[in-house]
Amino acid sequence: MSAFTTPQSATSTPESDPALVDAYRRGNERAAAELIERHIAALGRFLYSSGADRDEVDDLVQEAFFRAFRRLATWRGEASFRSWLFTIGGNLLRDQVRSRKGRRVLSLNDRDIPSASDPEADLAAGEAAERVRYGLTQLTRLQREVFLLRAQEGSEYGDIAVALGTTPGAARVHYHHAVKRLKELVR
């Protein structure tokens, strides 16, 4: 449950992202804390799925939020706050990969294996997930981000298009190319 409420919304539904952003712009830091709490997990998953090392995710998440709040004036609400945040995170990850001269190394220790009662099923699921993650790193940035925004967020093509600076039709094409390529890579 949200810790952030205003007198008007104390008994109503949680504040929307644009309302929280407005509140933060007016100087309410608790609104920023609520935005972080709301989006941190999704941003972490997005960065990890995009190829960030497990031990880099925390720093990347922090940097993405820092930059987002510094540049909040540039968010006009056309794309969702989360999509915009993912774009900032994607830029950070791209810069990091460039600084490592394009090397994207996925360590076996990076595996994100969910805890369950069946170790064999765990292992199989972990290996399959790792193949998908490796496949995602082989896609173009647009293909990867469109695919992840669809698969992890369920975002509509219109929202994805605004966030990534493309058209809904092009976003759909990128998604289908991503699926086709992933099928080949994961097979």
Distance between CA atoms of residues 50 and 138, nearest Å: 10
The three-class DSSP label of residue 115 is: coil
Alpha-helical segments (H) within 50-167: 57-70, 81-99, 119-137, 141-153, 157-164
Task: State which residue, 19 or 72, has the beta carbon closest to another protein.
Answer: 72
Q: What is the DSSP letter of 14?
A: P
Which of 44, 79, 80, 96 is close enough to bind another protein by CB under 8 A?
A: 44
Residues 133-152 that bind another protein (CB under 8 A): 133, 136, 147-148, 150-152
Residue closer to another protein (CB basis): 70 or 101:
70
In the block, residue with structure tokens 């949680």? 14
Structure-block tokens of residue 140:
């173009």
Q: Which helix (H) or strand (E) holds 35?
A: helix 29-49
Which of 5, 6, 69, 97 is the binder for another protein (CB under 8 A)?
A: 69
Binding flag, residue 183, another protein (CB under 8 A)? yes
Rg value, the chain, Cα: 18
Kindly tell me which of 101 and 154 has the beta carbon lying closer to another protein. Answer: 154
Binding-site ranges for another protein (CB under 8 A): 29, 32-33, 36-37, 40-42, 44-49, 54, 57-58, 61-62, 65-66, 69-70, 112-115, 125, 128-129, 132-133, 136, 147-148, 150-154, 176, 179, 182-183, 186
